[in-house]
């Protein structure tokens, strides 16, 4: 393709008027404890997988609530379901169940 010396950037903005938050809405019905998340990050700090991969439960909660689901499935697949995150969560979020339910929702969706 001809190089005109400029390129067009993809919009980096989160547009909640257009984004589809149905995954979050489906998850909160089957695992209501995710509403309690305050993004403290203790789940990620204790996560064995997160030390080596892009898995971050905190980020996933924020992303799905904003309808941003890019790379979600591959990130989730890094989870070893060890459950350490449940032990450290100060708000009693059932993190491991949220991940398994989220994988189910995404599998049924696609």
Partner 1 sequence: MAESKKIAVIGGGIAGMEAAGNLVNLGFEVYLIERTNRLGGNVANWYCLFPDFKPSSKVVEQLKPAIQNKVQFRFGAEVCKTEKKGNKHLLHLNDGEVLECDAVVVASGFSLFDAHRKEEYGYGIYDNVITSADLEKQLAENHTVMTTQHKAPRKIAFIHCVGSRDHKVGNAYCSKVCCVTGVKQAIEVAKMHPEAEIYSFYMDLRMYDRQFEDLYMEAQTQHNVRFIRGRLSECFENADKTILLKAEDTLSGKPFRLSVDMVVLLVGMQADQSLKHISDMFALKTSDDRFLSVADVHTSSIYSGVEGVYLAGACTGPKSIHETLNSARAAALSTAIYLNQN
CA–CA separation, 57 and 45 (whole Å): 10
Sign of the C-alpha dihedral, residues 76, 77, 83, 88?
negative
- Is the distance from CB of 72 to CB of 106 less than 8 angstroms? yes
Of 43-51, 59-67, 82-90, 97-105, which segment contacts partner 1 by CB under 8 A? Answer: 59-67
Interaction with partner 1 in 28-57: which residues (CB under 8 A)? 28, 32, 35-36, 38-39
Minimum CB distance to partner 1 smaller for 91 or for 109: 91
What count of other Cβ atoms lies within 10 Å of the Cβ of residue 11? Answer: 7
Least CB distance to partner 1 at residue 50 (A): 16
Least CB distance to partner 1 at residue 2 (A): 31
Least CB distance to partner 1 at residue 23 (A): 15
- Residue for token digits 């924020």? 62
Closest residue by Cα to residue 34 from 83, 88, 102: 102
Residue from 56, 65, 75, 95 in contact with partner 1 (CB under 8 A) = 65
Residues that bind partner 1 (CB under 8 A): 12-17, 28, 32, 35-36, 38-39, 58-59, 62-63, 65-66, 68, 91
């Amino acid at each position: 393709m001809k190089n005109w010396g400029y390129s067009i950037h993809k919009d980096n903005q989160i547009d909640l008027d257009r984004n589809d938050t149905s995954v979050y809405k489906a998850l909160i019905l089957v695992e209501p404890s995710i509403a309690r998340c305050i993004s403290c990050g203790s789940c990620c700090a204790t996560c064995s997988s997160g030390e080596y991969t892009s898995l971050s439960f905190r980020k996933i909660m924020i992303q799905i609530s904003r309808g941003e689901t890019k790379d979600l499935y591959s990130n989730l697949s890094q989870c070893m379901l060890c459950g350490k995150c449940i032990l450290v969560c100060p708000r009693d979020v059932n993190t491991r169940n949220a991940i398994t339910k989220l994988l189910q929702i995404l599998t049924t969706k696609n």
